[in-house]
């Protein structure tokens, strides 16, 4: 793969093609107009181009479809190590660990406050 356009084209194909991706990028357009717009944007000979937000959208969509070559291309061309995708279940487990740790920290702070000699409980009126 020689350039970002090739990587984007490959990602678009992995996501169901230009008609599918174009309709997701520009839902306000007819499916045919959105497809033509995307094809124009991916053609280096045409004046239209995708925006950085569009590139990120395509990269996310590709990742959801198990295609990582676009991000691998970007990382490689920028001098980064090959990326390793995090599975959603791993991300959820990490968020749950962080949540449990945060709740424990709040409980520990509450215990310190209650055991402080300066603590005065609030009484209901």
Residues 63 and 101 in one domain: no
Q: Please measure the distance between the N-terminal and C-terminal CA atoms of the chain and give it in whole angstroms.
A: 73
CA–CA distance from 76 to each of 14, 66, 81 (Å)? 20, 18, 7
Find the domain containing 109 and state its range.
86-125
Whole-angstrom Cα distance, residue 17 to residue 7?
13
pTM above 0.85, yes or no: no
69 and 27: one domain?
yes
Residue 93 and residue 39 share a domain: no
71 and 120: one domain?
no
Question: For 97-111, b where at least 16 C-beta lie within 10 A, e where not — what string?
Answer: eeeeeeeeeeeeeee
- Residue pLDDT, tens place only, 10-42: 999 999 999 999 999 999 999 999 999 999 999
pLDDT values of the chain reduced to their tens digit, one per residue, 125 residues? 789 999 999 999 999 999 999 999 999 999 999 999 999 999 999 999 999 999 999 999 999 999 999 999 999 999 999 888 877 777 788 888 899 999 989 998 888 888 877 767 677 66
User: Do both 66 and 107 map to the same domain?
Assistant: no
Q: Please give the tally of structural domains in the chain.
A: 2
Q: Are residues 64 and 92 in the same domain?
A: no
């Amino acid at each position: 793969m020689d350039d970002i356009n090739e990587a984007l084209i490959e990602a678009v194909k992995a996501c169901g093609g230009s008609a599918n991706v174009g309709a997701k990028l520009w839902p306000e357009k007819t499916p045919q107009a959105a497809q033509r717009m995307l094809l124009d944007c991916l053609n280096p000979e045409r004046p239209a181009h995708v925006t950085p937000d569009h590139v990120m959208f395509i990269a996310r969509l590709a990742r959801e479809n198990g295609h990582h070559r676009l991000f691998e291309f970007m990382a490689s061309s920028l001098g980064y190590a090959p990326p390793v995708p995090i599975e959603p279940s791993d991300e959820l487990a990490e968020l749950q660990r962080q949540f449990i740790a945060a709740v424990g920290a709040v409980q520990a702070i509450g215990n310190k406050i209650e055991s402080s000699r300066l603590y005065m409980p609030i009484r209901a009126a």
